[in-house]
Copies of this chain bind each other. A is one copy, B any other.
Amino acid sequence: MTSDTGDRLILLTNDDGLYATGLRTLLEVMEEYGKVVLVSTVESMSGMSQALTVKTPLRIRLVDETDRHRIYACNGTPADGVKLAVNQLLDRQPDWVVSGVNHGANASVSVLYSGTMAAAIEGCLYGINSVGFSLNSFSRSADFTVCKKYIRIVMDRVISEPLPAGVCLNVNMPAVAESEIRGIMVCRQAKGNWKEEFEKRKDPMGKTYYWLTGLFNNHEPEATDTDEWALANNFVSVVPVTIDMTAYGYIDKLKERFANDPNGKI
């Protein structure tokens, strides 16, 4: 889509730093869809989840401007950056919040830790159409070229009609050659967790410290409708993500557990 961008306003962000290849790749594609305002920390700030900066002041400054984009550096988290842009920087609410392309996948439970997805969720909380893109590679030499094609396919499919209230998209792309990608798969978040999470070391004073590390453990490798399966089988995964974390399926049972309590309403 290179025409009819109208006056569409896109807020772009991520957590790998202002000069990350993934972010710059997404900027290039998003300029085809509208006027882009990019807000990012200068350096990378991974694993920040939906964290907010409450104890230190936030600052934001314009670092680049063309007729297609404005780029701002912000000292906050990805969620802070979206909040600052929507509340203070922009004259009007953006039409889209787009985050990524992250260096590293955000499939399965990684959605809970991801700054990339936190930015999309933050947009969603404001009622803005939001999507996060990630590439399944932490390699510095990862090739983001293939991503462009799939970012365009996803955006072309969703840009014409708003997403439902409270729902944003989590898109993960396999890091393989274009010829190996088998297509796009709408799927659900795989069940899994992290294990072997720390490397224990001694500092020069002999005191113990730990580095966070860890391996992902897919609890349902046989299930073929999950984002982990999609990535492992060279599909681009698209998971609709809700901001409502209520476990609706357990409400009735939980009411039973609180039943007949003199202090309980239920």
Contact = CB atoms under 8 A, between A and B. Distances in A.
Q: Taking chain A's interface residues, is the majority helix, strand, or loop, or is none over half, making it mixed?
A: mixed
A119 interface: no
Given A83-B197, A261-B153, A246 B57 contact: no
Counting every copy of the chain, the complex holds 2
A242 B241 contact: no
A212 interface: yes
Contacts of A198: 58, 83-84, 87-88
Given A189-B246, A193-B127, A210 B265 contact: no
Contact of A209 (B58, B118, B254): B58
Interface stretch (A4-12, A22-30, A34-42, A43-51): A43-51
A79 B227 CA distance: 24
B245 A189 contact: yes
Given A57-B201, A88-B198, A211-B57, A254 B238 contact: yes
A257 interface: yes
Given A198-B83, A247-B240, A185 B112 contact: no
